[in-house]
C-alpha cells in the first residue's frame, strides 16, 4: 500500500505547526514593526490609568452622589456611608498618584537623557499633572457641594423643628397671625420660670411655719396667674395693645434670626474657603517636597564633587612634589659634576 501522499501531508502539517510556534505570525494590517515600550512609557501609562479610574468613578456616581434626581424612583440612590467611602478612596488615590508622580519626576531628573528626550518627558509629566489636578478639582467640587447641601438641610430641619414645637402650644388661629407667635412663646417661658421659683421657695421654707402660709398664699396667686395665662393662650382674640407688643417683639426676634442666618451663611462661605485653601496648601506641600528632594540630591552630588576635587588636588600635589625632587636632584648632580670637572681641569 502506497502511503507517500499521506506521509507528505503529515510532514507539511508538522512543518507548519513548528513554524507557527517558533515564529509569530506578523500582523498584516501593520506596515512598521512595533517598537518595545520603554520603562518611562510604562510608568506614565500606569499613573494615567489610576487617574482615569478615579475620574470614571467620580463621573459615573456623580448623579447619585450629588442627589440630582433623588425624587425619581428609577434614579440611582446612595447612602452617606457610600459617599464617605468615595471621598476617602478618592483622597487615597490622589495622594498615591501625587507621590508616584513626584517620584517619577525625581527619577526623570536624575536620568541622563538627550535634550529632545528631556523635553518630551517634561511635557508628559506636565500633562499628567494637569490631568490629575483636573480630576482633583472634580472631587473637590463634589465634596464642597455635599457639605453645602448638608448645611442647608440642617438649617431647614432646625427651622422646621422650631415651627413644630411652637404649633404644639399655640392655637391654629394664632399660628395664622405671625406677629403674635414669638410673644406667646415669651409669655409661656415666663410661666415656666414662675413654677420653678415656687418650687424652690417650697424647698427653702419647709422648716418655718409662719412662712409656709405666706408661701402658700403666694403659690395660690401664682397658680391663678398661670391659669389666667393659660386661658389667655386659649383665647382666639387679643387686644390691640397686646397685638402691638407682640408685633414689636416679633420684629425684634425676626431681626435677630436674620442676623443669625447671615452669620450661618458667612460661616458656610468660610468653610468653603478653608477647604479651598487646604487644597492649595496640600498642593504646595507636594511641590515643596519635590523641591526639597531635588535640593537634597543636588547637595549630595555637590559633596561628591568636592571629595573628587580634593582627591585630584592631593594627587596633583604629590606629582608636583616628585617633580621638584627630581629637579633638585638633577641640579645637585650637575653642580657636583661641574665642580669635579673644574677641579680635574686644574
Position 329 pLDDT exceeds 80:
yes
- Average pLDDT of 129-149? 87
**Residue-level pLDDT at 81:** 84
In the structure, what pLDDT confidence band is assigned to residue 193 with cuts at 50, 70 and 90?
very low
At 66-122, the pLDDT tens digits run 765 555 555 567 788 888 888 888 888 888 888 888 888 888 888 777 888 888 888
Report yes or no: 275 and 147 within 8 Å, Cβ to Cβ: yes
How many domains does the structure of the chain reveal? 2
* Alpha carbon distance 286, 131 (integer Å): 16
**Residue-level pLDDT at 170:** 43
196 shares its domain with 119 = no
In the structure, what pLDDT confidence band is assigned to residue 186 with cuts at 50, 70 and 90?
very low
Residue 346 lies in a domain: no
191 shares its domain with 101 = no
Position 13 pLDDT exceeds 50:
yes
* Alpha carbon distance 237, 250 (integer Å): 17
42 shares its domain with 117 = yes
102 shares its domain with 204 = no
Residue 342 lies in a domain: no
Residue 63 lies in a domain: yes
Report yes or no: 137 and 94 within 8 Å, Cβ to Cβ: no
Position 159 pLDDT exceeds 70:
no
184 shares its domain with 120 = no
208 shares its domain with 142 = no
Report yes or no: 48 and 128 within 8 Å, Cβ to Cβ: yes
Rounded mean pLDDT of the chain?
73
In the structure, what pLDDT confidence band is assigned to residue 213 with cuts at 50, 70 and 90?
low
Report yes or no: 143 and 275 within 8 Å, Cβ to Cβ: yes
**Residue-level pLDDT at 9:** 72
135 shares its domain with 189 = no
* Alpha carbon distance 327, 32 (integer Å): 68
Residue 310 lies in a domain: no
**Residue-level pLDDT at 331:** 92
**Residue-level pLDDT at 18:** 60
177 shares its domain with 285 = yes
Residue 327 lies in a domain: no
Range of the domain at 61: 38-146
124 shares its domain with 204 = no
Residue 244 lies in a domain: yes
97 shares its domain with 193 = no
Residue 204 lies in a domain: yes
In the structure, what pLDDT confidence band is assigned to residue 342 with cuts at 50, 70 and 90?
confident
109 shares its domain with 199 = no
**Residue-level pLDDT at 84:** 85
Residue 134 lies in a domain: yes
Position 332 pLDDT exceeds 90:
yes
- Number of Cβ within a 10 Å radius of residue 135: 24
Which CATH number does the domain housing residue 91 bear? 1.20.58
* Alpha carbon distance 270, 259 (integer Å): 16
123 shares its domain with 184 = no
Position 278 pLDDT exceeds 70:
yes
Position 38 pLDDT exceeds 70:
yes
In the structure, what pLDDT confidence band is assigned to residue 171 with cuts at 50, 70 and 90?
very low
Among the listed residues 261, 65, 77, the one whose alpha carbon sits nearest the alpha carbon of residue 146: 65
- Which three three-digit cell numbers place residue 249? 417683639
Amino acid at each position: 500500500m502506497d502511503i507517500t501522499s499521506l506521509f507528505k501531508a503529515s510532514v507539511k502539517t508538522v512543518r507548519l505547526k513548528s513554524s507557527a510556534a517558533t515564529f509569530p505570525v506578523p500582523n498584516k494590517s501593520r506596515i512598521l514593526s512595533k517598537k518595545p515600550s520603554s520603562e518611562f512609557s510604562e510608568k506614565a501609562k500606569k499613573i494615567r490609568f489610576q487617574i482615569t479610574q478615579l475620574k470614571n468613578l467620580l463621573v459615573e456616581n456623580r448623579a447619585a452622589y450629588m442627589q440630582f434626581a433623588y425624587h425619581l424612583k428609577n434614579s440611582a440612590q446612595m447612602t452617606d456611608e457610600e459617599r464617605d467611602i468615595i471621598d476617602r478612596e478618592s483622597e487615597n488615590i490622589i495622594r498615591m498618584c501625587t507621590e508616584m508622580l513626584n517620584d517619577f519626576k525625581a527619577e526623570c531628573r536624575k536620568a541622563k537623557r538627550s535634550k529632545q528626550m528631556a523635553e518630551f518627558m517634561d511635557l508628559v509629566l506636565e500633562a499628567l499633572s494637569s490631568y490629575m489636578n483636573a480630576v482633583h478639582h472634580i472631587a473637590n467640587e463634589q465634596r464642597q457641594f455635599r457639605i453645602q447641601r448638608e448645611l442647608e438641610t440642617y438649617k431647614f430641619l432646625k427651622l422646621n423643628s422650631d415651627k413644630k414645637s411652637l404649633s404644639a402650644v399655640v392655637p391654629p388661629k394664632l399660628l395664622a397671625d405671625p406677629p403674635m407667635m414669638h410673644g406667646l412663646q415669651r409669655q409661656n417661658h415666663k410661666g415656666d420660670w414662675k413654677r420653678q421659683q415656687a418650687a424652690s421657695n417650697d424647698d427653702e421654707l419647709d422648716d418655718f411655719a409662719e412662712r409656709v402660709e405666706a408661701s402658700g398664699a403666694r403659690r395660690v396667686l401664682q397658680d391663678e396667674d398661670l391659669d389666667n395665662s393659660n386661658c389667655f393662650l386659649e383665647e382666639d382674640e387679643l387686644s390691640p395693645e397686646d397685638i402691638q407688643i407682640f408685633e414689636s417683639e416679633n420684629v425684634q426676634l425676626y431681626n435677630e434670626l436674620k442676623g443669625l442666618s447671615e452669620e450661618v451663611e458667612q460661616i458656610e462661605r468660610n468653610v468653603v474657603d478653608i477647604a479651598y485653601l487646604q487644597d492649595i496648601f496640600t498642593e504646595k506641600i507636594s511641590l515643596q517636597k519635590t523641591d526639597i528632594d531635588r535640593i537634597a540630591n543636588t547637595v549630595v552630588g555637590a559633596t561628591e564633587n568636592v571629595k573628587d576635587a580634593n582627591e585630584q588636588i592631593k594627587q596633583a600635589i604629590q606629582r608636583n612634589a616628585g617633580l621638584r625632587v627630581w629637579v633638585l636632584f638633577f641640579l645637585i648632580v650637575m653642580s657636583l659634576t661641574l665642580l669635579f670637572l673644574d677641579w680635574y681641569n686644574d
